[in-house]
Amino acid sequence: MAQTDLIAFSQALLDEANRFMKQKEWQQAEERFRKVAQNLARKSSISESVKPLLTKALIGWARCLIEKGQLPEAMKIAQRALSIMPSCEEAQSLLLNALLGLGKWQEAIRQVKKWLKSYQQNWRLHLWAAKIEAKLENWTNAVKHLTLALKLSNNEAEPYEVAAQILERRGESKKALLLLKKGIEQIPHSPTLWFALGQLQRNLGRFREALESFERVLELGQDTSIVREVIGQTYSEIGLTDKALEHTLKGLEQDPQNPNLLELLAFIYLQKGRTKEALLVVQRLVRLIPNDPIIQFKLATLHHQLGNYAQAVMAYQRTTVIAPETELAKEAQQILEILDRHQLEQVFMLSMEDPIFRTKLIRNPQEALKEKGFLLSESSLEVIYNTDFSQLPKRHGTLQRFVS
C-alpha cells in the first residue's frame, strides 16, 4: 500500500475509533487503534508524516487499556508513544495515570523529575510533581512545584484547582478558599474554578454560598450530570427536597443510567416520605448493578419497611451471597432471623383472625403462605407444618408457646 493510501486508511480508522470512544465502547475503539498502530509500525522506517498518526493511535490504544483496567499494558503502549514523541503531554499523562493506578508513586515521581530535566518550563509536569509529592506527603516539594505551575501556566484554571485541593488536604481550608477566589479574579469565566469553590464551600458547611457558586457554573454553560448531582446533594443536605429533586431529575435526563444520581433520587424520595417511589428507583439500580451488596441491602430494607416480606427476605439473602463474611452480610443475617420470627408471629396472628387463611394453612401451608407474601426459613416452615391450626383460638391469644 502506498504511503498516501496508508495514511488515508489510518485516518479513517482513527476517526472510527474516536467515535467508539465517545460512546465508551472501549473494546471496539481499541481494536481500531491497535490496527492503525500495527499497520504503521510495519514500515521499515517511520517518516515524519507518519509519526503523528502513529502517536495518536498509540495514545488512543493506551487510553482504552486504562479504561478497561489493563494498566501494565497501558504503560507499555504509552512508553511506545513517548519513544516516538518524547514531549507528548497526553502520552506522559497516560503513563503517569497507569503508574499511579498501580500504586507506583515513587516510580511516577522519578519519571516526572526525569522529564523536568528536559522540560523545566512545562507547568503540567510541575503540577503532576505537586500532586504526587502531596500524595507522598512531601509538602515542601509539593508547594515548590505548585508555585512554579501557577507561575508558568499563565492563568490556567487547573493549577489553582489542584493547589486548593492540596491545601484542603493539609487542613488549610481557608488558604484554599482564598486561592480559589484569587483564581476566579484572574479567570472569572472558568466553570472549573467556580465548581471547585462550590465544593470547598460545601465541605466547610457554607451551603448557601456553595449553591451560589454551583449556579454560576450552570450560568457559564457547564450543565452536566455531575454538576446537577452535586447541586441536588447540597439542596438535600439543607432539607430543600423539592429543589434537590428538580436538579436530580434534570441530571438523570442527561444521564439516565447514572448510579450516583439514582441513589440520590431514592434518598430524596425517602426524605419526602415517598417510600414506594424510592423502592422503584432502587429496583432500577439493582438492574443496573445487580452484584452490589449495598444496593441489595437497601432494596431489602425498603421491601421490609413496606411489609413485602418475601421480597425483603430474598434481597437480604442475596446480600449474604454477594458479600459473604462481611459486616454487611452479618447484619443482613441478623435481620433475616428477626424478620423470620416476625413473619412467623404474623402467620399465627393472621390464622386466628382470618378463618379463610386458617383453612388454607391446614390444607396447603406452602400455597397459603405464598399467597399472603410470606417467605419463611426452613425451621419456621417446620413449625408451621407441625402446628394443628384447627386447635388455635379464633382470636388473639398468647403467641409465645406457638413460636418458642
Buried b (16+ CB within 10 A) or exposed e, 225-250: bbbbbbbbbbbbeeeebebbbbbbeb
Give the pTM: 0.82
pLDDT at 228: 98
Q: For residues 121-125, give the mean pLDDT.
A: 96
Q: For residues 353-382, give the mean pLDDT.
A: 92
Q: Is 223 left (phi over 0), alpha (psi -120 to 50) or beta?
A: beta
Type of residue found at 168: E
- With CA atoms as reference, report the closest residue to 100 among 60, 53, 135, 59: 135
For residues 46 and 7, is the Cβ–Cβ distance under 8 A? no
Angle, helices 241-254 vs 259-271, to 10°: value is 160
Half-sphere exposure in the Cβ direction for 309 (13 Å, CA)? 21
- How much of the chain, in percent, has pLDDT values that exceed 70? 96
Q: Which residues, in sequence order, are CB contacts of 387 under 8 Å at separation 6+?
A: 348, 402
User: Which of the four pLDDT bands, split at 50, 70 and 90, describes residue 395?
Assistant: low
Of the ranges 6-15, 53-62, 188-197, which one carries the lowest mean pLDDT score? 6-15
User: Which of the four pLDDT bands, split at 50, 70 and 90, describes residue 2?
Assistant: low
Q: Which residue has the higher pLDDT, 275 or 48?
A: 275
pLDDT at 169: 92
SS3 of the chain: the string is CCHHHHHHHHHHHHHHHHHHHHCCCHHHHHHHHHHHHHHHHCCCCCCCCCHHHHHHHHHHHHHHHHHCCCHHHHHHHHHHHHHHCCCCHHHHHHHHHHHHHCCCHHHHHHHHHHHHHHCCCCHHHHHHHHHHHHHCCCHHHHHHHHHHHHHHCCCCHHHHHHHHHHHHHCCCHHHHHHHHHHHHHHCCCCHHHHHHHHHHHHHCCCHHHHHHHHHHHHHCCCCCHHHHHHHHHHHHHCCCHHHHHHHHHHHHHHCCCCHHHHHHHHHHHHHCCCHHHHHHHHHHHHHHCCCCHHHHHHHHHHHHHCCCHHHHHHHHHHHHHHCCCCHHHHHHHHHHHHHHHHHHHHHHHHHHHCHHHHHHHHHCHHHHHHHCCCCCCHHHHHHHHCCCHHHCCCCCCCCHHHHC
Position 37 pLDDT exceeds 50: yes
> Grid coordinates standing for 385?
407444618
pLDDT at 397: 46
Distance CA 50, CA 46 (A): 6
Q: pLDDT by residue (tens digit) across 371-388?
A: 999 999 888 999 999 999
Q: For residues 155-174, give the mean pLDDT.
A: 94
Residue 211 — φ and ψ, nearest 5°?
Answer: -65, -35
Q: pLDDT by residue (tens digit) across 68-96?
A: 999 999 999 999 999 999 999 999 999 99
Q: For residues 240-251, give the mean pLDDT.
A: 98
User: Which of the four pLDDT bands, split at 50, 70 and 90, describes residue 28?
Assistant: very high
Angle, helices 51-67 vs 3-22, to 10°: value is 30
For residues 50 and 62, is the Cβ–Cβ distance under 8 A? no
Q: pLDDT by residue (tens digit) across 259-312?
A: 999 999 999 999 999 999 999 999 999 999 999 999 999 999 999 999 999 999
Position 50 pLDDT exceeds 90: no
